[in-house]
Amino acid sequence: MTDDEPLPYSVLIRIADNILEAGEDDPDALAAGLERLDPVIREELLASDLLNAFQVFYYFFREDPGDLETDRLILQPASALLTGVVVTGREFYEVIFRIEKGSPVILVSDGDSVLAGFHEKDAYRQALRFIDEQL
């Protein structure tokens, strides 16, 4: 395997299994396990079907978005984050979580266009504040 080749899927599965075994019911333990990985391996996992969108959300933002939002994210594979996953909706707005070039982004959309994008550690809370200011 060279630097340009992706990790064999069977190896990625074993790595994911080890991390999930330790952190299945503990998002902090799962995030810590991801943190310890080589960045290239971590990036592959964060964009795979081996994790769900909530696990990736928690890894990047280290916060619980709420019960309904967590359930919504759990139902989506991490690979869906490449195009975006709706985390929540408020009034006429949607909060979308996506991964762009390996970095997390929280977008606020009105359904037709993106109104704002947030990239910081507290991006989710910033997006919610942005919506509150619009209402």
- Cα 92 to chain centroid distance, Å, stands at 23
pTM as predicted: 0.92
Task: Please say if the pLDDT value at position 2 is more than 70.
Answer: no
Given strand 93-100, what is the order of strands in its sheet? Answer: 85-90, 93-100, 103-109, 114-118
| pLDDT 10s digits, 30-46 | 999 999 999 999 999 99
pLDDT at residue 4, rounded to an integer: 66
| pLDDT 10s digits, 70-100 | 999 999 999 999 999 999 999 999 999 999 9
